Structure 1
Amino acid sequence: MSSTPQPGTSESAHEEEEPWLSSDEVAKLWPVRKDWLPGVARRADVRVRTYGGASRGTWGAEPTFHSFHPGDVRRAAPAIAEGRVGIPSKWRTDTPDGRRTEFWGNLTARVAGTLMLLALLGGVLLILGTGVFLLTVE
Structure 2
Amino acid sequence: MAAADPEHVVWLTERKLARAWPTIRPTCLHATANANGVRNHHRVSHGTWGESTWRTYHPADVNRVAGAIADGTAALQPHWRNDTPEAKLLDQRLRRKNLPGAIGCALVIAVALAIIVTVLVILWNDSPSSSSTPSYWH
The alignment's TM-score, normalised by the length of structure 1, stands at 0.59
Counterpart for residue 126 of structure 2: none
Alignment of 1:18-33 (within 5 A): 18-30=9-21, 31-33=23-25
Retained in 2: the 8 A contact 1:90–1:97? yes
Deviates more, 1:75-84 or 1:65-74: 75-84
Retained in 2: the 8 A contact 1:51–1:64? yes
Superposition RMSD on alpha carbons, in Å? 3.7
Q: Does 1:50 align with 2:49?
A: no
Larger relative helix fraction: 1
Uncovered stretches (5+) of structure 1, i.e. residues with no partner? 1-12, 55-61, 133-138
CA distance 1:67–1:107, shift in 2 (3 Å): farther
**1:35 aligned to which of 27, 30, 49:** 27
Alignment of 1:54-133 (within 5 A): 64-102=53-91, 104-105=93-94, 109=98, 112-122=101-111, 125=114
CA distance 1:29–1:127, shift in 2 (3 Å): closer
CA distance 1:116–1:67, shift in 2 (3 Å): same
Q: Structure 2: which amino acid aligns with 1:36?
A: C
Answer with 1 or 2: which has the greater Rg: 2
CA distance 1:65–1:104, shift in 2 (3 Å): farther
Uncovered stretches (5+) of structure 2, i.e. residues with no partner? 1-5, 123-138
Q: Structure 1: which amino acid aligns with 2:31?
A: G
Percent identity of paired positions between Structure 1 and Structure 2: 26
**Superimposed CA distance per residue, residues 86-131 of structure 1 (whole angstroms, 9 cap, x where no aligned partner):** 31111111212223423553575576234223125436747997xx
Aligned structure 1 segments of 4 or more residues deviating by more than 4 angstroms: 106-111, 123-129
**Superimposed CA distance per residue, residues 50-87 of structure 1 (whole angstroms, 9 cap, x where no aligned partner):** 235x9xxxxxxx77522111011011112123332331
Give the secondary-structure state (helix, strand or coil) at the position aligned to 1:21.
Answer: coil
Retained in 2: the 8 A contact 1:93–1:99? yes
Retained in 2: the 8 A contact 1:38–1:48? no
State the aligned residue count.
Answer: 115
Give the secondary-structure state (helix, strand or coil) at the position aligned to 2:54.
Answer: strand
CA distance 1:114–1:50, shift in 2 (3 Å): farther
CA distance 1:110–1:126, shift in 2 (3 Å): same
